[in-house]
């Protein structure tokens, strides 16, 4: 997936992810916003790093 250059994923990225999961891009965006809020982060990269540190994601 490509990013918009600001550390944020683009709308096209969310649409592509949604297509793979049979969801709309808006649904992906909404779920990611909830994950980011729960982990108190502002990017997917930060979410992965925090999730790994908390043991929610295994390497």
Q: Mind listing the pLDDT tens digit for each residue in 29-48?
A: 999 999 999 999 999 999 99
**46 contact partners, CB below 8 Å, separation of at least 6:** 36, 39
How far CA 1 is from CA of 9, 38, 40, 56, in Å, comes to 8, 23, 23, 22
43 versus 2: the higher-pLDDT residue is 43
Q: Mind listing the pLDDT tens digit for each residue in 4-29?
A: 455 567 888 999 999 999 999 999 99
Q: How confident is the model at residue 16, as a pLDDT? A: 94
pLDDT at 2 over 50: no
Cβ–Cβ under 8 Å, residues 28 and 19 = no
């Amino acid at each position: 997936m490509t990013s918009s250059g600001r550390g944020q994923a683009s709308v096209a990225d969310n649409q592509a992810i949604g297509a793979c999961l049979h969801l709309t891009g808006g649904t992906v965006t909404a779920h990611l916003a909830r994950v980011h809020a729960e982990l108190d982060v502002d990017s997917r990269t930060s979410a992965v790093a925090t999730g790994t540190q908390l043991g929610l994601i295994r390497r």
